[in-house]
Structure 1
Amino acid sequence: MAKIKSKTQYVCQSCGSVSAKWLGKCPDCLEWNTFQEEAMLPKQTRVEGISSQSAPKPITQILSGDKERFDTGISELNRVLGGGLVKGSLTLISGDPGIGKSTLLLQCAHEIAKRYGTVLYVSGEESEEQIKIRGDRLSATAEKLFIVSETSMEVIEGHIRDLKPAFVIIDSIQTVYTEKVTSAPGSVSQVRECANSLMRIGKLMGIPLFIVAHVTKQGELAGPRVLEHMVDSVLYFEGERTEEIRVLRTMKNRFGTTSEIGVFEMAAEGLVEVYDPSRIFLEDHRGAKEGSMVIGIMEGTRPLLVQVQSLVAETKAVMPRRSALGIEIPRLNMILAVLEKKLKIPFYASDVYVNVVGGLSVEGTSQDLGLALSLVSSAKGRDIKYDRLMAIGEIGLTGEIRPVNHVERLIGEGVKMGFEYFMIPARNMEKIKIKNIHLIPVDTLKEAVNKIF
């Protein structure tokens, strides 16, 4: 009898691209030395789907299902998810090692077990005893919280079908493997097949699942990008391990907005929710200082005040350095170019360092005016005239101050934090209904600089 030759293929471990032969550079993601040999999956006569009803139906005849969401018991997590967990949803959470992913999920599992019944926590990285030690420290010891240390996808599916839990956590997807695939755990084929199995069982049984994913040195999700397309939500947990503040962001959400953030503080008893993040980000602010300004930004529906600091130092280097933490470098370069053109400040001969206090990454354009004023203050070596000043406004390429949205909400947050002076675009003045505050309307960047120095 002729021996059947096993067929192999080469799969890029970065993007999942498949090639019949080994390649040094992936033609799709352009990464080097990422192709690994894997056995080809046998042809299957039938692929199990997420629904046994394959007949097309008019959308008007399809029931939308239970719209009620699961309350995770953690309001900041509910905010990021869009109001809570949706039945049958698959959520991917990632972050740097030691940032607090497992801590957050164990606290979430404890709260859901108290409210809705059985919760299954599957760990492929820790033993059951290690999880119990952390659970005792976090006081996460609900009676219906089940823990298992397992990496076999077939065994995990059996546990889910037997327990019929209300919520499942997989920590992490890179440690789980299925016998259908011969490659090692964590490979593109294994991650894709295991995620597909979890998605199928979650949709069929109406169970929300959280899966943890590792990140690369560049801070990106490890494994194939198809994993992000398969799941319903992608959350990213960020922060410095040496700092106490943690920020949970939504990168993708099929059931809500992607602009919300959740703020936590790492304490001895676990992650503590921060309901007033502006106070945390401004706790070291002590009035007007050289190179320091307070700016107002919107994170979803939440107004936030943060402090931006700038340092402009003369340099003899041919190429001055531009460094920014929390601010996008292209935005910084644009503002520096406008300042050089309109105010004749020679930033081309100086190194520029910018930092957002607290480790928050700022997006949008409402921070432009505050950033520009902090840069001018540092370059001129002068303090700002007003002690409790907050700046809001977008800077155009011609040097004009453009109006921004939600100005009144940002000013209201500033009043709550004790600020007295608010520099805003002149075209936003008609929208302000708040009384007993000092407004400084400006039309151009040059006018703004002249009013505060």
Structure 2
Amino acid sequence: MAKRKTKFMCQECGYESPKWMGKCPGCGAWNRMTEEIEKTSARKGAFAHTEKSAIASKPTPITAVETVNEPRIYTDSRELNRVLGGGIVRGSLVLIGGDPGIGKSTLLLQVSSQLAAKNNSVLYISGEESLRQTKLRADRLGVMSDSLLVYAETDLEDISRTIETINPDFVIIDSIQTVFHPEVTSAPGSVSQVRECTAELMRIAKTKGIAIFIVGHVTKEGSIAGPRLLEHMVDTVLYFEGERHHTYRILRAVKNRFGSTNEMGIFEMKEAGLAEVLNPSEIFLEERSQGASGSTVCASMEGTRPVLVEIQALISPTSFGNPRRMATGIDHNRVSLLMAVLEKRVGMLLQNQDAYLKVTGGVKLDEPAIDLAIAISIASSFRDQPTRPTDCIIGEVGLTGEVRRVSRIEQRVQEAVKLGFERIILPANNLGGWQAPSEIELIGVSTVAEALQYSLGR
């Protein structure tokens, strides 16, 4: 009898080693090397189809390739359609990740019902719940359709045979960490299993033109569990974010081969499931305090949608040798940079002040157009002078204290007009080349010091 060969594989990055190591040389993670049986047949199965199809195909001039403009499939959720880039693409593989209990299964079950109501055949495969448990969730959400088929299975070979037999239009796998390939000896959820199962699902999606959604668990750091290769293999990666104890959920696209990666969809969790939030700016500004220092409103672009959010700052004298810099929803390095600009170019003594900043509503902002709003929030809290509640602030700040031009200024201004703002402080270079609305006052500024004079009024 031949001796079984074993190898050690990192569960974070997939690094392989013939012996166990405490620290992975590939990603630097500790205690993530697990022993797996090395079996030559483990490479067969998922990749066998890929290798065969690669050999059968021939190089073709790109001018001779025929294209078919298939229309996208729209769901009843406009938020999901926007994040996906305009609807679901046939033959695509979409990965949805999020914290436990955030609403991933609820979202996909509602989408399954919407697609089934349009005479599409949908196969919902649950590896975490039984058929009765899935039915209880469907009853709560009001999901009833004969075109929605429910299947409780984790064996990938059985799943593949079922898809071959039924040939549905859409397939949903909940979740990829529970599915296993019988020819792979490692446990479900390991690097080898996730890689092989995803490759097989990708083959099914591309060869049969079936749109497949797979649910992925996330680690405590917030990234999708399994090898990084998983995100590279799929067509689209969506993250479902939000606090479990709050009602609002944010769906973001971090990778999308068929659309923008900056889109954001907002949902509200209710008893009957997830409901769309069509005007998120109203939600983010509804509890804004009037007359409080350190509060400003900025217009940020999330993909093609302008969103008005409130940025709050709290500046207080430090009790320690090194002042603290904490930020929620903003990169804290950007906060330190803008505080250095205020200290050098405006003359504010901030080196002995603690700084705490937050973007309300749980939104994460990373575009440069919010720089001026952050700087004015810090100055407002430091001087204890409130800004005007009807002001909206837009602009990028350079290291020399200049306010630089931003993109899509028309859409930002229109969103501020719609919500009743009376004045917008924006870069002076953004004033020309477009027709500004007559019902709002536009103030162009060239430096941070000039913006502070208009916003704080002193």
Which segment is superposed worse, 339-348 or 164-173? 339-348
- 1:179 correspondence with 2:182: yes
Equivalent residue for 2:203? 200
Letter in 2 for 1:6: R
Query: How far is 1:346 from its partner?
Result: 2.2
Alpha-carbon shift at residue 59 of structure 1 (Å) = 1.7
Of the candidates 395, 404, 412, which is equivalent to residue 402 of structure 1?
Answer: 404
Match of 1:290 in 2: 293
CA distance in 2, matches of 1:63, 1:257: 25
Given that 1:288 and 1:388 are in contact with CA atoms closer than 8 Å, whether structure 2 keeps it comes out as no
Deviates more, 1:70-79 or 1:413-422: 70-79
The residue type paired with residue 428 of structure 2 is: A
Matched residue, 2:12: 14
Task: Indicate conservation of the 8 Å contact 2:84/2:258, yes or no.
Answer: yes
Alignment equivalent of 1:268, drawn from 245, 266, 271: 271
Paired residues for 1:19-418 under 5 Å: 19-43=17-41, 47-49=48-50, 51=53, 53-384=56-387, 386-418=388-420
Partner of 1:448: 451
Q: d(CA) in 1 for partners of 2:389 and 2:260? A: 36
State the 1:345 CA deviation: 1.8
Q: Could you say if the C-alpha distance between residues 51 and 113 of structure 1 is closer, same or farther in structure 2, counting changes exceeding 3 Å?
A: farther
Contact 2:417–2:439 (8 Å) recurs in 1: no
- What do the CA deviations read for 1:109-154 (whole angstroms, capped 9, x no partner)? 1111111422111111111111111111111121111111111111
Q: Work out whether residues 408 and 431 of structure 1, in 8 Å CA contact, stay in contact via their aligned partners in 2.
A: no
* Secondary structure at 1:412 match in 2: helix
Following superposition, the deviation at residue 282 of structure 1 comes to 1.0
Larger CA deviation: 120-129 vs 57-66? 57-66
3-state SS in 1 of match to 2:222: coil
Q: What secondary structure sits across from 1:60 in the alignment?
A: helix
Cα distance between partner residues in 1 of 2:422 and 2:434 = 15
Q: Give the match's secondary structure for 2:432.
A: helix
Identity among equivalent positions (%) equals: 49
| Distance in structure 2 (CA, Å) of the matches to 1:206 and 1:269 | 32
What secondary structure does 2:330 align onto? coil
Q: Which amino acid aligns with 1:34?
A: R
Deviations along 1:362-381, whole A, 9 cap, x unmatched? 11111111111111111111
Match of 1:425 in 2: 427
2:247/2:269 contact within 8 Å kept: yes
CA distance in 2: counterparts of 1:90 and 1:185, whole angstroms = 20
The answer to whether the Cα contact below 8 Å between 1:290 and 1:378 also exists between their aligned partners in 2 is: yes
Q: C-alpha displacement at 1:441, in angstroms?
A: 1.5
Distance in 1 (CA, whole Å) between partners of 2:13 and 2:61 is: 36
Q: Counterpart of 1:98 in structure 2: which amino acid?
A: G
C-alpha separation between the residues in 1 aligned to 2:345 and 2:375? 12
State the shift of 1:407 in Å.
1.3
- Tell me how far 1:309 sits from its aligned partner: 0.5
Q: What is the root-mean-square deviation of aligned Cα atoms in Å?
A: 1.5
Q: For 1:363, give the aligned amino acid.
A: D
SS state of the match for residue 347, structure 1? coil
SS in 1 for 2:301: strand
- 1:390, 1:422 → 2: CA distance? 5
Tell me which stretches of 4 or more aligned residues in structure 1 moved more than 6 Å.
Answer: none
Q: Partners of 2:17 and 2:348 in 1: how far apart?
A: 54
Structure 1 unaligned regions, length at least 5: none
Aligned residues: 450
TM-score for the superposition, normalised by structure 1: 0.96
C-alpha distance in 2, partners of 1:164/1:7? 39
Query: Do the aligned partners of 2:21 and 2:33 also contact (CA within 8 Å) in 1?
Result: yes
**Could you tell me whether the CA contact under 8 Å between 1:401 and 1:444 is conserved in 2?**
yes
In the alignment, residue 13 of structure 1 is paired with which amino acid?
Answer: Q
CA contact (8 A) 2:119 2:147 kept: no
Q: Deviations over 1:7-41 (max 9, x none)?
A: 11111100011111111111111111111111123
1:65 Cα deviation from its structure 2 partner: 3.5
Deviation at 1:357, TM superposition (A): 0.7
**Maintained 8 Å contact 2:125/2:172:** yes
> Structure 2: how far apart are the matches of 1:287 and 1:421?
16
Cα distance in 2 for residues equivalent to 1:6 and 1:63: 49
Question: Contact 1:11–1:37 at 8 Å: present in 2 too?
Answer: yes
